[in-house]
Amino acid sequence: MASTQTPTRRGLRAPAALTTLFAAALALVACTEAEPRSPGTAALSPSPVPSESASAPADPVGPVAPTGAATTVVGGLEAPWSMVRLPSGSTLVSQRDAGDILELVSGGDVRQLGVVPGVAAGGEGGLLGLAVLTPEPSTEDSTWVYAYLTTASDNRIVRMPLTGEAGSYALGAVDEVLVGIPRAGNHNGGRIAFGPDGMLYATAGDAGDRNLAQDGDSLGGKILRLTPEGAVPADNPFPGSPVYSFGHRNPQGLAWDRDGGLWASEFGQNTWDELNRITPGGNYGWPIAEGIAGADGMIDPVAQWATEDASPSGLAIVDDTIFMASLRGERLYGITDGVHVPAGSTTLVGVVDAVPYLVGEFGRIRDVVAGPPGTIWILTNNTDGRGSPGADDDRIVELPLEPLAPR
């Protein structure tokens, strides 16, 4: 496929130019001396980076923390993986093994919205991440539901028009966005989200083959960036390729701060799970480095955890606080800059303070999103074969938030 790729609907291999750039990047790793780097500063800059901007809340309150009584929004879900709240008040939820999308109506009722064709569930694969692209109210464009799924041959991203009204939504015909992401019984990545720049980002795991993360001919072990239609943006760091960053093992969380900075959570191997500040074109080390290693030419995580304390999945940034869902650790982390900066702060660079909440209270936590004003929602994941389901599992739980006192 030529380096001027547009629609990426037939399976994608990185062009020769990308392989050359990767080789140059790895040469830097082998022959350059380490230099001090602040979190999120890459050792390579293949091409101009995209400009990103985020809309700041009208009245930022600074860091927040979950406090008060938790409320179950809905229970009885089966191996849920992702949730997306819609402007209409409905929430979409993917169920990994069933391959279906549920609609949670604002009144609390749940209905099956539709089944995504081609899902081949097994191990950690199945119907994974969801994202929604909503048009401007002044246009007649469709609302699109995007899904990251495991098929019999690959992982892929598809989209379907969302038709109807809240409480009776339906899915239209499937349109392929990107195919050919490596699949396996584990390490499938699977999170998708639209950034403040309007582009679609996706996390792709190494599919159990660690060498793919540093392989310029593979989409495995990468964070990817696409246009909503599946084309390669002209300002991607590697010309003609959807690769946005590489050297990842199994990233599963994406979130943007108010300055447009991208953050990602990542499963480690046996030692360190990671929270990374993503720089376009950056090499995040795997499999050469795991956790904060100071490896030449590679970007260290901003924070790390022992794998038994985290196994991180979904991320959300609310009021200058990063919330990170953790599976094996059975907790929700609230991550701030360590000094609890005054209200109105616009920076999260250098975060070091990670406070665990809900330890063991709800079991495995797969996803977290902003809920109604003043709340967050978490999605439990105890029915996926690795947890111990409770009577209401799996469920969405609402947690009230309060400002975190400066210190």
Mean pLDDT of the chain: 85
Average pLDDT over residues 17-44: 39
Residues 6+ apart with CB under 8 A from 119: 99, 126, 127, 149, 150, 151
pLDDT (0 to 100) of residue 135: 85
Are the CB atoms for 226 and 199 separated by under 8 Å? Answer: yes
State which H helix or E strand residue 22 sits in: helix 16-31
CA distance linking residue 146 with residue 131, whole number of Å: 5
pLDDT tens readout for residues 268-321: 999 999 999 999 999 999 999 999 999 999 999 999 999 999 999 999 999 989
Is 31 or 126 the better-scoring residue by pLDDT?
126
Are the CB atoms for 185 and 125 separated by under 8 Å? Answer: yes
Cis, bond preceding 137 (omega within 30 deg of 0): no
φ, ψ at 16 (rounded to 5°): -55, -35
CA distance linking residue 275 with residue 284, whole number of Å: 11
CA distance linking residue 241 with residue 246, whole number of Å: 12
Are the CB atoms for 146 and 200 separated by under 8 Å? Answer: yes
Are the CB atoms for 23 and 238 separated by under 8 Å? Answer: no
Are the CB atoms for 265 and 275 separated by under 8 Å? Answer: yes
Residue 208 CA, distance from chain mean position: 19
Instruction: Count how many Cα atoms sit within 13 Å of the Cα of residue 137 in the half-sphere of its side chain.
Output: 2
pLDDT (0 to 100) of residue 141: 84
Domains annotated on the chain, with CATH = 71-403 (2.120.10.30)
Share in percent of the chain as helix, strand, coil (round to 5): 5, 35, 55
Alpha carbon distances (Å) from 131 to 11, 52, 195: 21, 19, 11
CA distance linking residue 172 with residue 144, whole number of Å: 9
Helix (H, G, I), strand (E, B) or coil at 224: strand
Alpha carbon distances (Å) from 72 to 207, 221, 222, 353: 34, 35, 35, 28
Instruction: Count how many Cα atoms sit within 13 Å of the Cα of residue 277 in the half-sphere of its side chain.
Output: 22
CA distance linking residue 366 with residue 385, whole number of Å: 13
Question: Which amino acid would we find at residue 214?
Answer: Q
CA distance linking residue 125 with residue 382, whole number of Å: 16
pLDDT (0 to 100) of residue 140: 72
The predicted model scores a pTM of 0.86
pLDDT tens readout for residues 92-138: 999 999 999 999 998 889 999 999 999 999 999 999 999 999 987 77
